[in-house]
């Protein structure tokens, strides 16, 4: 056994082994060579899992790292001056959080675990340094941030112009996509968040959410008990999500981006 082997062994319990992580192609997709990923490995830190309602960071905290969700789920939210909570996003395994803090070096929102959740911590300064050395990594970072911008704008469009029904359809399809990308079922999944949190995110009252779910069930588009959801008519949901209301005759569908 060489000394390199020993050192590798010693460190491996501390680091997250991106090399073996099935999510690496989600959180930092493609384009990194084996050896580049190994370099990344060295700066990634694991943290002990968060329990439900634990915070990964809070609004106003100093920013020093971005995080990749390994398992579980997070929500990010801000609190308005009135104490009212606004959910700004849900984050599933393979997705990054904290990108919005780079600008000010302070987290502009809080991140809270919706269930038992483990994350990888990527210390930002070291990530930056590494990105300077590995062009592919720099590019990935920029791409991911670009994607975030794009999907926020899609969402913005949805909030501005879509009815409650359409918003729910869009969200369900987005979740479906994101589950599928991890190799899970696109039609049966368990929502990690409460109805009221979904509603909050979509800008809808919890009562409206409840009525929507019933309407969707009555239409045969899904069956749901509690957080367990089964999409039974994905096509109909795409219909709803894909086109603005006054446009029911048109063809074509949009992807939710994420």
Partner DNA sequence: CGACACTTTGACACGGCTCAACTAGTGTGG
Partner DNA sequence: CCACACTAGTTGAGCCGTGTCAAAGTGTCG
Q: Using the rule CB under 8 A, which residue among 81, 183, 218, 225 binds a copy of itself?
A: 81
Q: Using the rule CB under 8 A, which residue among 95, 100, 165, 166 binds a copy of itself?
A: 100
Binding mask 175-204 for DNA (x = CB under 7 A): -------------------xxx------xx
Q: Write out the DSSP string of 159-193.
A: HHH--HHHHHHHHHHHHHHHHHHTTS-SSEEE-SS
Nearest-approach distance from CB 161 to DNA, in angstroms: 9
Count Cβ atoms within 10 A of the Cβ of residue 65 and give its class: 0-12 exposed, 13-18 middle, 19 or more buried: buried
Q: Using the rule CB under 8 A, which residue among 46, 143, 181, 217 binds a copy of itself?
A: 143
The answer to whether 92 contacts a copy of itself (rule: CB under 8 A) is: no
The answer to whether 163 contacts DNA (rule: CB under 7 A) is: yes
Closest to a copy of itself by CB, 116 or 153: 153
Give the tokens for residue 171. Answer: 């969200």
The answer to whether 242 contacts a copy of itself (rule: CB under 8 A) is: yes
Count Cβ atoms within 10 A of the Cβ of residue 28 and give its class: 0-12 exposed, 13-18 middle, 19 or more buried: buried
Q: Is 120 helix (H, G, I), strand (E, B) or coil?
A: strand
Residue positions counted in the chain? 258
> 10: Cβ–Cβ under 8 A, 6 or more apart, which residues?
none
The answer to whether 226 contacts DNA (rule: CB under 7 A) is: yes
The answer to whether 68 contacts DNA (rule: CB under 7 A) is: no
Q: Using the rule CB under 7 A, which residue among 38, 164, 186, 236 binds DNA?
A: 164
The answer to whether 64 contacts a copy of itself (rule: CB under 8 A) is: no
The answer to whether 205 contacts a copy of itself (rule: CB under 8 A) is: no
> 72: left (phi > 0), else alpha (psi -120 to 50), else beta?
left
The answer to whether 82 contacts DNA (rule: CB under 7 A) is: no
> 74: left (phi > 0), else alpha (psi -120 to 50), else beta?
beta
């Amino acid at each position: 056994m060489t000394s390199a082997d020993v050192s590798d062994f010693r460190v491996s319990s501390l680091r997250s082994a991106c090399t073996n992580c099935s999510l690496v192609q989600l959180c930092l997709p493609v384009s990194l060579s084996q050896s580049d990923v190994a370099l990344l490995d060295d700066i990634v830190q694991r943290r002990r899992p968060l329990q439900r309602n634990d915070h990964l960071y809070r609004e106003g905290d100093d920013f020093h790292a971005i995080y990749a969700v390994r398992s579980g789920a997070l929500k990010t939210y801000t609190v308005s001056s009135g104490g009212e909570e606004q959910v700004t996003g849900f984050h599933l395994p393979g997705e990054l959080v904290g990108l919005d803090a780079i600008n000010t070096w302070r987290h502009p929102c809080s991140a809270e675990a919706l269930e038992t959740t483990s994350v990888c911590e990527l210390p930002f300064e070291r990530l930056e340094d590494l990105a300077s050395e590995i062009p592919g990594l720099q590019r990935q970072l920029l791409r991911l941030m670009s994607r975030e911008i794009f999907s926020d704008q899609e969402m913005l469009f949805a909030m501005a112009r879509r009815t409650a029904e359409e918003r729910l359809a869009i969200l369900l399809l987005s979740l479906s996509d994101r589950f599928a990308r991890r190799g899970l079922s696109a039609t049966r999944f368990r929502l990690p968040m409460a109805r009221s949190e979904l509603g909050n995110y979509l800008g809808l009252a919890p009562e409206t959410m409840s009525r929507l779910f019933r309407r969707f069930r009555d239409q045969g588009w899904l069956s749901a008990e509690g957080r367990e959801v089964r999409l039974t008519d994905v096509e109909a949901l795409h219909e709803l999500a894909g086109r603005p209301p006054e446009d029911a005759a048109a063809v074509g569908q949009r992807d939710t981006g994420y």
